[in-house]
Chains A and B, each alone.
Chain A
Amino acid sequence: GQQVMQIPQYQHVQEGEDFTTYCNSSTTLSNIQWYKQRPGGHPVFLIQLVKSGEVKKQKRLTFQFGEAKKNSSLHITATQTTDVGTYFCAGPILYDKVIFGPGTSLSVIP
């Protein structure tokens, strides 16, 4: 069946370093969503990308949707301790149900 994969599973960075997580789908996606979950919290919607090659920025976060619409990335510039959490990508299957990737857990060392 359709799968959404993410790498790496875990990432530990020194505060101020950059961080990137990658999301790959086994099939073409009509859109990709990104969520953040703080430790002990619930997933919170960050952004949705729809167009091939689309790039969106939210302050220090840059989201990109691949040209083939099968992959996406989230890049955080100059990480801060507030960035700690698990980042999930999610994409639709059969045009309606959303399937979540396993997530990338980010730790930031002060």
Chain B
Amino acid sequence: NAGVTQTPKFQVLKTGQSMTLQCAQDMNHNSMYWYRQDPGMGLRLIYYSASEGTTDKGEVPNGYNVSRLNKREFSLRLESAAPSQTSVYFCASSEFHGGDQPQHFGDGTRLSIL
């Protein structure tokens, strides 16, 4: 089992460009999450999907959109990239949504916006 797979692993964009980060999990988990990680700030939740067909905002949703395509896949879209969105993006999944559920993370996407 691959666990949580993220693509691409690295990306460089110019300001104003758009792109979609892809995430897929093969653990039959119901819940999926997108985080960004910046130095000294830990992991901040951007959006999450508690179950297939639902999405909700996290701590820092501005400038992002998400799509829960099916139970396996959860994508994150930057419509008009800004330098402030330079970060490492992690997708995670858990069996169910809740504060007591361990999360399984992908390897991350390192995104630079010039």
Contact = CB atoms under 8 A, between A and B. Distances in A.
B53 interface: no
A96 B97 contact: yes
A82 B10 CA distance: 26
B16 interface: no
A91 B103 contact: no
Interface stretch (B17-25, B74-82, B104-112): B104-112
A43 B58 CA distance: 19
A98 B102 CA distance: 10
A45 B42 contact: no
Residue from the set B97, B99, B106 with the largest chain A CB neighbour count within 10 Å: B99
Please report whether the interface of chain A is mostly helix, strand, loop or mixed according to DSSP: strand
Contact of B100 (A30, A43, A100, A103): A30
Interface in A1-57: 9, 30-31, 33, 41-45, 48, 50
A28 to B, nearest CB: 12
Interface residues of B, number: 24
Given A96-B97, A100-B42, A102-B40, A43 B48 contact: no
Given A42-B90, A42-B108, A43-B90, A98 B42 contact: no
Contacts of A98: 45, 99, 103
A9 B104 CA distance: 24
A43 B48 CA distance: 17
Contacts of B50: 96
Nearest to B96: A96
Contacts of A30: 99-100
Closest 9 CB pairs of A and B: A92-B99, A42-B105, A45-B102, A100-B43, A102-B42, A100-B42, A43-B105, A31-B100, A103-B42
